[in-house]
Structure 1
């Protein structure tokens, strides 16, 4: 059953993650890519650690089991740090449209890892159909040139695919381990780890802070990707992961291209192609297929239409012959 909290978490994660691509495109005019990621996680780590320190007790903040440690490593190392670093590096070798498609393989990769690591999460044929429709919809939204998919830089595609795989594997590992830490505490531990990893990769690639151009646009872009996409988005996403599981939580990455496309149109003045509208509808159809498997339609209709149900029951009792009019007690099971 899908409740309002789940819908709200999904919407917030999709909105904030989708805005990341718009802010990142604006911010890359001022920052080297990996250093941009590193500074993003620096700021996010400060905010999140301060929040966790004020919100939770020392006992709630302390990892006490191997599952807690693995959960923190998967959060900071795989889902946040490595996935984002590989995304920004891979984008240097591929267009943003191709990058969006490759990263939208995340919901496809998640069931593969879940089949190996999680006995409780499996995907049905209907679920696979919904995932396939969602992926087709993403491809229509970003609308890449087919020649870019077959004739581009294979290294860039491999790096982007590794980033999507890292995020999917990390999400499944978090569900796999028996962690006692809450998701906000995992994020508070994971963000400094992600920042350290990103700084290491930035230094290894030869980036320098002297290449940064500080301007109001740079501060605005860094502020968005740090606070909204680095704190609020991950709070919503990891809470969703704990509630719904890795497969359903990673469906967020099907909605992200839709949000980023609309954000680019509204903020950056980018044009929305007619084919993108078809893509939006296709993604919606994919979610409708997935949702029909998650929501018990008939019981809900019966609950919403009590008058029809009571009326039909009354009619049935009137029309049905009274063959059991004796005094035998009825069974309560």
Structure 2
């Protein structure tokens, strides 16, 4: 029988595997579909499916009036203001740049907001874990970050700069929303919280896309091509239904900073998948960066206290 600690370790590994492969689905989608529309349809569909699944499992609940604002804030921060800028910015910067910005800033943002909102306490282990993880990311992706996206060169002046700022902002909105979500997860089932926040955030994204994004209304016809649709289905099923719910359960059980250390393992998965399926070259520097990042993730996850590791069964 799995203990709470082992269960969370398995969840963490599964999350890393899933979110390490979602970059491919995202890139496949935004190359053919307006990014806000792609994100909005993905999260709206995922939210509906999650709530239907929660209802089938008997894990729905009535949102208390006093929690309504927090639900709305978490939805906007973790979905709308995270994935909207992230998908938009990825059009104009290289994948390596996006990885350095988003993955390195996410654990830092999670820890900062957790400390500010008194959800966690600062200790040397967490500081060292984040320092190792960020250092490994820089070693792994810094050479790629020097490249300029061809799409940015043909877009508006400063496109790569604005794209980078958009991707960086996603880490902080996600971090703030994640910490705000933890009190909800003590009261409501994780599956229900996943469905509500994903649906609300997705609807706001979809509405903004149709109202303001060039080409979004016409793209609602669904004429995206096979590759984009495959990416969309992968993101809905694995990225949202499984990955997002898993992250929220980890957030509830072990805290924001430790759950956020997936950002040091997911890039490793991305590199391995690139080498296995796209014959991408793995250099000595890549191996060094991978070892450093995995060390940071191990340090973060191995520091869970007995209290933090006690899971609520759901």
TM-score, normalised via structure 1 length: 0.79
Aligned to 2:82: 83
CA contact (8 A) 1:143 1:275 kept: no
CA contact (8 A) 2:184 2:193 kept: no
CA contact (8 A) 2:258 2:300 kept: no
Say whether residues 1:121 and 2:120 are aligned partners. yes
Task: State the Cα distance separating 1:86 from its structure 2 match.
Answer: 1.1
Task: State the Cα distance separating 1:116 from its structure 2 match.
Answer: 1.4
CA contact (8 A) 1:75 1:187 kept: no
TM-score, normalised via structure 2 length: 0.83
Which stretches in structure 2 are left out of the alignment for 5+ residues? Answer: 149-157, 307-314
Q: Name the count of aligned residue pairs.
A: 291
Equivalent in 14, 17, 21 of residue 16 of structure 2: 14
CA contact (8 A) 1:113 1:168 kept: yes
User: What secondary structure, in the 3-state scheme, does the structure 1 residue paired with 2:26 have?
Assistant: helix
Q: Deviations over 1:206-234 (max 9, x none)?
A: 23253554433233211100111111001
Aligned to 2:170: 163
Aligned to 2:272: 262
Aligned to 1:326: none
**Equivalence map 1:193-204=2 (5 Å):** 193-203=200-210, 204=212
CA distance in 2, matches of 1:32, 1:291: 37
CA contact (8 A) 1:142 1:257 kept: no
Task: State the Cα distance separating 1:176 from its structure 2 match.
Answer: 4.7
| Larger Rg, first or second structure (1 or 2) | 1
CA distance in 1, matches of 2:209, 2:169: 18
Aligned Cα root-mean-square deviation (Å): 2.6
Specify whether residues 210 and 243 from structure 1 end up closer, same or farther in structure 2 by C-alpha distance, changes over 3 A only.
same
Aligned to 1:110: 110
Task: State the Cα distance separating 1:111 from its structure 2 match.
Answer: 1.8
Say whether residues 1:233 and 2:243 are aligned partners. yes
Which stretches in structure 1 are left out of the alignment for 5+ residues? Answer: 297-333
CA distance in 2, matches of 1:78, 1:160: 14
CA distance in 2, matches of 1:22, 1:160: 16
CA contact (8 A) 1:35 1:207 kept: no
Aligned to 2:309: none
Aligned to 2:38: 36
Aligned to 2:55: 53
CA distance in 2, matches of 1:126, 1:103: 22
